[in-house]
Chains A and B, each alone.
Chain A
Amino acid sequence: MRLQIPLAIILIMGLFTIVTSFVPAKPIADLNQTFRNWYIGIITFFIFLGTFNLVRVNGERIKTKARDWQYSIILIAALGVMLFAGFFKGRASLDEGSPFMYLYFNVQFPLEATMYSLLAFFVTSASFRAFRARNTQALVLLLAAVLIMLGRVPVGTSIWKGFPDVTEWIMSYPNAAAKRGIRLGIDLGLISMALRMILGIERSYMQ
């Protein structure tokens, strides 16, 4: 039973998901929405579980003075401050100028923006490696990249007005063809994996 019940649930829910793709009827749509609502409810519960796990794991690190345990103090303190700021004024915490929104816009948001802006440096270092013309294929990649870049910056148009058209052609034909080929494979792979799971062939998550 420990094996059959989860497999039966996966089979029923898998088939139901397929049915919802082709049957627009209201009873099916309503049932689908009900399942989605259940999922949202479960996610909410899991957020509590995740927070509990975060506190437990980091509390343990502080308790045992594991390596870099000081970071765990900062993490738990930051979590506590944000929780307090969020619950302190109830729904009014989301109002402009509240302590929660102040912390969000002046601490969390700039920190996230900083992490995101690191991408600019990483793109540069990755491009440097990718665009080394070590063989014919790398040379083609380099040429395509140079043409696309020239077509998308004002200086490219100043050099030759045809660069944007060349860029458009590369993006619309060779690039789109490659992407569609990959997309087709992805969708077929998805169907195959879904079938393996629905039929209970792929069940690495259980004994």
Chain B
Amino acid sequence: MMLGAWTLMASLLLCALPVLAQDMAPAEDAAPQDSLDRALTQLLNQIVPGEILSAPEKVSLEDTPSDAGTSIDVAWHISASESIIPGSVVKYHVMRAESPDSEFVRVGTVPAGTASYSDDGTEPGKPYWYKVKAVGVDSETASEACGPGYSRMQWFDRNRWNVLVFTLLTCFLVIIFIEIAKRSKGETFLRRLPVFDAIDEAIGRATEMGKDVLYIMGGLDVDDPQTVASMNILARVAERTASYGTKLNIPCIWPMAMSMARETVKESYLRMGRPDEYNEDDIYYLTTDQFGYVAGVDGIMMRDRPAANFYLGAFYAESLVFAETGYATGAIQIAGTAEIDQLPFFVVACDYTLIGEELYAAGASLSGDPIQMGSIRGQDAAKAIFFVLIVVGVILKLAGIDAIEEWLSIG
């Protein structure tokens, strides 16, 4: 890069000499600095960017860390032309070849000012050569070929080792508390949330009024953990509706979630010894369209006026539409989601709300199974450790020590 810079400076000075001589002669009474500025301005105005574009220098190649072996990081020093005359380089093309003598093919383009590029189209262990081409308004200059560079496959993502440590720690604590719960023979204590009593209350009210219970599993399919958590709660709700003989109405947004809900509810009715009460058609598909589904569910609420509405799962813009329509019909409403931005809407419009982690814990809590409740105690123990870490981290940060912050950073 330095060679390019000196070449450019020399060219500039050679071009500048006549201008400087002409300009400095009559300037005996003017400040020398003003004359120099005027001369340089004139000089820069005369420069056509394409004429003196210098190539990017010091191109270097490095295997992209912690990847599948399909990427090489290319870095370079930006063109000296760009350093001296901003705007003279418009963009850089990154060119690749499989040997230094073969044709270099463009694999990527970055804007001027950028000095790196990740080429993620490589094969592990294969040699590659690279050139970086500075592209100006009407000219371009390529660097020397650099290579060979190799991409290598990694078996462990080193950027995530701290995540692995804390995941293992949390798993370890959960398993330990499950084992403790197994040995304590049904004596696991867990503070009971008011919402769990409200579930019985809501279903009881629907039974007394002779109306349906409406259950909405959220807007995502079964690959989302919130839908799975909702399914666990649905199993407990279905056990209650089976016991009370109340109709459980479940319109679904995803066909696969519908199938899973059918199996879950069917198993609950079987567990409660009421298979005859189970009606497959009470769990049905509406549409995968978000607001089409909202319209369908709102219509059901306004026509059937269910006495208890459950909104448990992943919700987005539809959350408030559901909750406010349900509020207008006078139903008891129990909601829960891990979508933080939707929580305020549910808190305002529903009678009870499961906030974040409570959604995941509710299925285990409602089961009354001491082993499942033990897992929640393990999760709480992990939370206590994180709490201590956060407090210590804040104190250390205030003292100017970044150790914990750096330790917990990813990437």
Q: Interface on A for B, CB 8 Å cutoff?
A: 18, 21-26, 29, 39, 42-43, 46-47, 49-51, 53-54, 57, 60, 67-68, 71, 108, 111-112, 115-116, 118-119, 122-123, 125-127, 129-130, 179, 182-186, 188-197, 199, 201-202, 204-207
Given contact pairs A46-B259, A184-B386, A192 touches B69 in the complex (Cβ within 8 A):
no
- State whether A192 touches B324 (Cβ < 8 A): no
- State whether A21 touches B291 (Cβ < 8 A): no
What are 17 contact pairs spanning A and B, CB under 8 A? A22-B156, A22-B163, A26-B69, A47-B255, A53-B255, A115-B321, A126-B324, A186-B338, A186-B357, A191-B167, A193-B232, A195-B175, A195-B375, A202-B232, A204-B363, A204-B367, A207-B271
- State whether B236 touches A204 (Cβ < 8 A): yes
- State whether B225 touches A26 (Cβ < 8 A): no
- State whether B178 touches A201 (Cβ < 8 A): yes
Give Cα distance in the complex from A122 to B376, angstroms: 36
Centre residue among B163, B267, B268, B357 by max chain A CB count within 10 A: B357
- State whether B379 touches A192 (Cβ < 8 A): yes
Q: How many residues of B contact A (CB 8 A)?
A: 88
Counted as pairs of residues, one from A and one from B, with CB atoms less than 8 Å apart, the total is 199
- Verify if B401 is at the interface (C-beta below 8 Å from A): no
Q: Min CB distance, B292 to chain A, in Å?
A: 7
Of all chain A residues, the one with the shortest Cβ separation from B343 is A182
Given contact pairs A115-B295, A204-B367, A192 touches B361 in the complex (Cβ within 8 A):
yes
- State whether A202 touches B68 (Cβ < 8 A): no
Of all chain B residues, the one with the shortest Cβ separation from A187 is B357
Cβ proximity bits B315-349 to A, threshold 8 Å, 1 near / 0 not: 00100110110000000000000101001110011
Residues of B within 8 A of A195 (CB): 171, 174-175, 375
- State whether B359 touches A191 (Cβ < 8 A): no
Residues of B within 8 A of A196 (CB): 364, 372, 375
Q: Min CB distance, A149 to chain B, in Å?
A: 14
- Verify if B264 is at the interface (C-beta below 8 Å from A): yes
Give Cα distance in the complex from A188 to B321, angstroms: 30
Residues of A within 8 A of B360 (CB): 186, 189-190, 192-193
- State whether A202 touches B223 (Cβ < 8 A): no
Give Cα distance in the complex from A184 to B355, angstroms: 12
- State whether B267 touches A205 (Cβ < 8 A): yes
- State whether A46 touches B281 (Cβ < 8 A): no
Given contact pairs A23-B156, A68-B303, A204-B232, A189 touches B357 in the complex (Cβ within 8 A):
yes
Residues of B within 8 A of A126 (CB): 320, 323-324, 345, 348-349
Residues of A within 8 A of B367 (CB): 202, 204
Name the contact of A24 in the complex, choosing from B68, B255, B369 (C-beta under 8 A).
B68
Residues of A within 8 A of B379 (CB): 188-189, 191-192
Residues of A within 8 A of B303 (CB): 67-68
- Verify if B277 is at the interface (C-beta below 8 Å from A): no
Given contacts A179-B340, A190-B357, A192-B360, 10 further A-B contacts (CB under 8 A): A22-B163, A24-B157, A126-B320, A185-B383, A186-B340, A188-B383, A191-B382, A196-B375, A201-B178, A204-B231
- State whether A118 touches B348 (Cβ < 8 A): no
Q: Min CB distance, B236 to chain A, in Å?
A: 7
- State whether A53 touches B295 (Cβ < 8 A): no
Give Cα distance in the complex from A24 to B378, angstroms: 29
Residues of B within 8 A of A67 (CB): 303
Centre residue among B264, B292, B356 by max chain A CB count within 10 A: B356
Give Cα distance in the complex from A196 to B231, angstroms: 14
Residues of A within 8 A of B264 (CB): 204-205
Of all chain B residues, the one with the shortest Cβ separation from A47 is B255
Cβ proximity bits B136-172 to A, threshold 8 Å, 1 near / 0 not: 0000000000000000011111001001100100110
Q: Which 9 A-B pairs have the closest CB atoms?
A: A50-B255, A189-B357, A204-B235, A189-B360, A185-B357, A50-B285, A192-B379, A46-B255, A115-B291
Name the contact of B167 in the complex, choosing from A18, A54, A111, A115 (C-beta under 8 A).
A18
Centre residue among B255, B267, B290 by max chain A CB count within 10 A: B255
